Structure 1
């Protein structure tokens, strides 16, 4: 009897029920985080442009921390180097889980969002360099600013405007954004390390190795793990490599699969899932909003100040990269993968869906602001222009994506209203129990 040939992976194809439910849980948390992130940014802008704007700068520049460990840092630096390490720790956990135990452990399914993320990094960087390469005052070093996608903002916008959009689109955006963050942290480590101290960098391996051994043995004791994590972060900071890299490495060290010794693979959630459950609310609800509050405040200076910012080639390059570069890069990379590989668009989806998500990925807030500070210096005039450009570009991308995806949401809503999706006694919708490709999930 001849075995049936394997089906080609489909872009935006329906994943497993467990994976789909997990993505839904993440979206609910990220939606709240996105609202808090926006609130932090708005409050910072209001305060920085109020008569009490000097107080905002005083708060950002206030120094705290032990001098003996060279950690007497400003509040703004603690937010960028310390709190964002939590954000990248969660990103590391999510990325590892996607590729070890998620639907994307299949290389054919993972190829599309990975290629999309790479395209969404390359094209914005190229467009920025085209605009700024001829400059002689170091403007080109900001090439990586428009390459990042903000997970919290993008998912929050998608959750608000796309209730009836297929969850596979949300899964695609989440995976693209996480891979995008990984590429961003590699860029930060490689291109934005001003000076490198080898001894602290090598010493980082000691607490990191101890942390890895403990988590591989399923140790959850905070009084053991947190000191090792802090030591890893401290030594990474001392080495000259941006300290958020430590967060990613610590996330990668956590095992994803359940312990077989504890009664089989279905005995209990994996340790990565446990840590993600614990730290995601801290990341989305505290770390990222506080960073936004400490980084987004820029004194615009009225219309003249805005005019100065928007005529700066750096700001122009950032806005073009976010609003045009992101959708061009993501859409082109997705088309190339579907054109030259076995990956195919799932029935019921259109390329306008890809374009809508690609435009939405142009919301580059958190990591873009971080790279801007590393490229031009915290508090510099050019750093202020970077903030204005990131805010303007992200807002433009959000508005354009809202228009596109709201129209698509209406289409999927009509499909949803015309169909009846019932659940069996096991509370799993029938659509997840049908052969793959037999129908399109629009719930």
Structure 2
């Protein structure tokens, strides 16, 4: 349990502190909070918000920064959400990549089939509930909130894992099932962000820069040294690249890839994803939260460890800059996001998980019951981090975005519901 608590404190405690500060600040001095969030840091023609978009986001008082002689402005919000959060998504992508590519990876083979079906249910269920209830509320509401359909599809890995262990016990097979589901959910979420939430007019030619940087850094600093070291036990070229150049080639390639994403219209926070698979990795997976990973010396794991503390600070500022919602902003989008998560997740995960386990005969892990899928569904309904992020890109700044963010924050209620569901459905805790 210490390992899990350590992870949650590393990656989520500062996030919660930032979110709490934001909520208090926004509800006591709303104008100063929003001006802080959209404060301009750098006027330029290359990265940031367009001047017109920034004027709307900043609101009254923007003219004191004029005259405006550049096309774009880098704001505090853009710096965190669009640039620095790329490191958070890179860590998430690293876990997904290892789960898929490495020997013993958790998303490989038949053992991952039912969790992957359940993941699909955990996405389609919330979408159906969200859009269905929005349509029921009328065309005006539907048109206003429809673009937020992906907000309730998210699952916060850290908090879900923590609550899952509290409900089921550390040794219960449902915990591993939940973890597979959460990792796959993250992977699907990254794809949804890339396809459905571009940040501007698409210019796909710029992606050639991103993928060119990825191919170049892989060929020159990963494949070529290994090729030159064939039949050499001391591996001089690989050792030189590793010890002398370290992560720098990948950081430079990452910067180029990020810029390519920013200019292409795809969300730039995904800009490091093409680089993650190019970094030398371990030869087998020990699993997320595994203590063994701390002792791995491959470059990919070393980069992840080096990013741990910076990402903690980034998540603090992410919470501070995104969770500042006034309670008067609670509206239709709040309840739709919450319903999508707390109703749609359990129903979708149960329906798709049952279909995979029974009619398709893919089975579920030994020691798990079908009814446990309902409890897993409630645990997976904690959206928080990624739900907040999607809300910030699905809607422009304003009432609907604020209401949707409140729904993402309220999804913490799923933790309490999960504990109650565990009691109602008589979950037998397994600690070993």
| TM tier, smaller | 0.7 to 0.9
For structure 2, the residue ranges without an aligned partner over 5 or more in a row are 49-72, 226-237, 285-294
Task: Report the CA distance shift for 1:287/1:405 in structure 2 as closer, same or farther (over 3 A).
Answer: farther
The residue number in structure 1 matching 2:377 is 358
CA RMSD between the two structures: 2.8
Q: CA 1:158/1:376 → structure 2, altered by over 3 Å: closer, same or farther?
A: same
| 2:149 corresponds to | 143
Between stretches 397-406 and 181-190, larger displacement belongs to 397-406
Instruction: Say yes or no: does 1:385 pair with 2:385.
Output: no
Q: What CA distance in whole angstroms lies between the structure 1 residues aligned with 2:204 and 2:367?
A: 54
1:399-410 alignment to 2 at 5 Å? 399-405=416-422
329, 338, 352: which is aligned to 2:357? 338
Unaligned stretches of 5+ residues in structure 1: 1-22, 260-266, 414-441
Matched-pair contact (CA < 8 Å) for 2:118–2:350: yes
The structure-2 alpha-carbon separation of the partners of 1:172 and 1:245, relative to structure 1 and needing over 3 Å to count, comes to same
List per-residue Cα deviations over 1:1-38 (Å, max 9, x = no partner).
xxxxxxxxxxxxxxxxxxxxxx9857732354222222
Do the aligned residues in 1 keep the contact of 2:253 with 2:275 (CA within 8 Å)?
A: no
- Name the SS for the 1:374 alignment partner: helix
Task: Write out aligned runs for 1:20-419 (5 A).
Answer: 25=3, 28-50=6-28, 52-65=29-42, 67-71=44-48, 72-101=73-102, 102-104=104-106, 106-133=108-135, 134-136=138-140, 137-159=143-165, 161-162=166-167, 164-166=169-171, 168-193=173-198, 194-213=200-219, 214-216=221-223, 217=225, 219-220=241-242, 221-258=246-283, 269-283=297-311, 285-301=312-328, 305-306=329-330, 309=331, 312=332, 314-377=333-396, 379-392=397-410, 394-405=411-422, 411-412=428-429
- Per the TM alignment, residue 279 of structure 1 is displaced from its structure 2 partner at its CA by 2.6
The change in CA–CA distance for 1:408 and 1:124 in structure 2 (over 3 A counts) is closer
Displacement of 1:380 after TM fit? 0.9
CA distance change for structure 1 residues 65 and 212 in 2, over 3 Å: closer, same or farther? farther
Given that residues 155 and 382 in structure 2 are in contact (C-alpha distance below 8 angstroms), is that contact kept between their aligned partners in structure 1? yes
Deviation at 1:103, TM superposition (A): 4.2
> CA–CA distance in 2 between the matches of 1:293 and 1:407?
36
Change (3 A) 1:380 1:222: same
- Native 8 Å contact 1:207 1:231 kept in 2: yes
Q: Shift of residue 92 of structure 1?
A: 1.1
* 1:89 shift after superposition: 0.5
CA contact (8 A) 1:363 1:397 kept: yes
The count of corresponding residues between Structure 1 and Structure 2 is 373
Q: Cα gap change, 1:255/1:122 in structure 2, threshold over 3 Å: closer, same or farther?
A: farther
